[in-house]
Amino acid sequence: MKSFHSIPKHIAIIMDGNGRWAKTHGLPRVQGHRAGAESVREAIDACKELGVPYLTLYAFSSENWSRPEAEVSALMSLLEKFLKTKLDDLMKQNVRLQAIGQIERLPASTRKILADVMELTANNDSITLVLALSYGSREEITAAARKIAKGVQDGTWHPDEITTELFASQLDTAHIPDPDLLIRTSGEMRVSNFLLWQISYAEMVIVDKCWPDFRQGDLFAAVAEYQKRHRRFGSV
């Protein structure tokens, strides 16, 4: 068994398979999304128990806007409900909430509650929960390129000063360490526009279960798998 040093500093999860879970149970897709809320709690608890300081959850992608309007609005309502009903828990669990993605695209009511919860939890320090909402990595990278281009245009930077560090500082994740471990549920082996820059050296663990069936034990198993990997970062 490895030492505590190999506990990941940041776990990112692509919470996939809610629709298929619902289908298996003969339920409408939205019930799958609803059932997934319990798994979020399990993932937070497991990370807290292990001492993982950052957990990022992919909750809604840029591409998910193209789903039927009824599903999109159900997802936004569920998100609002989650934020309202979990605020007490987040405070008790000492969780700081942050968000990445094109938050401005969310409905005003969702933005309001999100901003409130982020403000109220800003000084909590046991774990940072980052929700990726209306998030797409290509959009994020393009926005960073745009900011840097403007900075060059107005004389803030010289083109030779554009390093990987400067670029990373213009991403939504500027103050968040890169994920060490990327988990995707439902057996799909793809990244779907999630943290493309940041996962360059993340270890990937694919879990066959659908997200609503994900429990603490599944996160512990993924971390155990991560601890068996030999990370080389391009070196020998």
- State the catalytic residues: 16, 64
Of 39, 56, 61, 198, the one binding ligand IPE by CB under 6 A: 61
User: DSSP per residue over 17-67, as a string?
Assistant: -HHHHHHHTT--HHHHHHHHHHHHHHHHHHHHHHT--EEEEEEEEGGGGGS
Residue tagged 């799958």 (tokens)? 32
Distance CA 113, CA 111 (A): 6
Do the bridges between strand 54-61 and strand 95-100 make them parallel or antiparallel, or are there none, so unpaired?
Answer: unpaired
Of 19, 53, 101, 136, the one binding ligand IPE by CB under 6 A: 19
Is 60 among the residues that bind ligand IPE (CB under 6 A)?
yes
Q: Tell me the CB-side half-sphere exposure of residue 85, using CA atoms within 13 A.
A: 10
Distance CA 44, CA 90 (A): 10
Select 16 or 203, whichever has its Cβ closest to Mg ion: 16
Of 6, 31, 64, 216, the one binding ligand IPE by CB under 6 A: 64
Least distance in angstroms from the C-beta of 19 to ligand IPE: 3
Is 16 among the residues that bind ligand IPE (CB under 6 A)?
yes
Site for Mg ion in 7-46 (CB under 5 A): 16
Select 34 or 148, whichever has its Cβ closest to ligand IPE: 34
Residue 13: phi, psi to the nearest 5?
A: -125, 130
Q: Which stretch binds ligand IPE (CB under 6 A): 3-11, 55-63, 110-118, 222-230?
A: 55-63
Residue 76: exposure state from Cβ atoms within 10 A (0-12, 13-18, ≥19): middle
Is 38 among the residues that bind ligand IPE (CB under 6 A)?
no
Least distance in angstroms from the C-beta of 172 to ligand IPE: 15
Is 48 among the residues that bind ligand IPE (CB under 6 A)?
no
Is 20 among the residues that bind ligand IPE (CB under 6 A)?
yes
Is 75 among the residues that bind Mg ion (CB under 5 A)?
no
| Amino acid at residue number 1 | M
Is 172 among the residues that bind Mg ion (CB under 5 A)?
no
Query: What are the DSSP E strand ranges found in the chain?
Result: 10-14, 54-61, 95-100, 127-135, 181-184, 203-206
Site of interaction with ligand IPE (CB under 6 A): 14-20, 58-61, 64, 75, 186, 188, 190, 192
